[in-house]
Amino acid sequence: MPPPGLWRAGLRLSRGMSRCVLEPGPPGKRWLVAGLGNPGMPGTRHSVGMAVLGQLARRLGVAESWVRDRRCAADLALASLGDAQLVLLRPRRLMNANGRSVAQATVNWENALLGRSAVTRATFPLCQAELFGLTAQEVYLVHDELDKPLGKLALKLGGSARGHNGVRSCISCLNSSAMPRLRVGIGRPTHPDAVQAHVLGCFSPSEQELLPPLLERATDLLLDHIRERSQGPLPGS
């Protein structure tokens, strides 16, 4: 058994390390980016937000780090961007219920990792407290936009859902409309009756040729905006 003085020193060191891991980092340096869509339907226009998240994960070097979390029904990956932390989220619920996954990962992240395996805790070593209590302003939504042609992007800072069911679900579950949104144009069909088939359908071969540069530009826009906000005033200030 180690001498009492050494044991006490080790205990103080252990407690200090625990505080370092569990205490939140500097406010305004944590962000969640959610790609809205339908699970199991890659390549469809309605899930283009998830395609952007895939490109974002590749750019940040975490494409092989996705972890499925049952408690928020989503795939998650943790990445660093300078001094900031990014949690990438792809819901495993249908589009109309995407907001439940986003809200659970945002508000209940501390509970979501309790009891997880050692492998998962090693993958997300800071998440138990680092992301607990994120505000709506620190949550980015990436989703398809009917009213913009394919290839057009727009960053919208809060506001109404504009008829998008996934955004409407997020607003309802987070009880806020303040989330920044990256709107990815998919174009609107001429006939109103064709909208559902259009959004749930796959991109045509000619459209698929436009996707790689579109995903790159969407990633650039997201990262530039997050970097700027990470260096500027705190959200809501």
Element (H, E) at 90: strand 84-91
Is 46 assigned a catalytic role?
Answer: yes
What's the CA gap between 180 and 185, in Å, rounded? 16
Q: How many CB atoms neighbour CB 132 within 10 A?
A: 18
CA distances from residue 169 to 36, 140, 156, 216 in whole angstroms, order as listed: 10, 14, 17, 27
Tokens linked to 62: 């975490």
| List 46, 143, 164, 191, catalytic entry | 46
Q: Which of 83, 94, 208, 211 is nearest to 151 (CA)?
A: 211
CA distances from residue 57 to 23, 52, 63, 95, 206 in whole angstroms, order as listed: 26, 9, 5, 21, 25
Three-point CA angle 29, 32, 103, nearest 5°: 125
Active site residues per annotation:
46
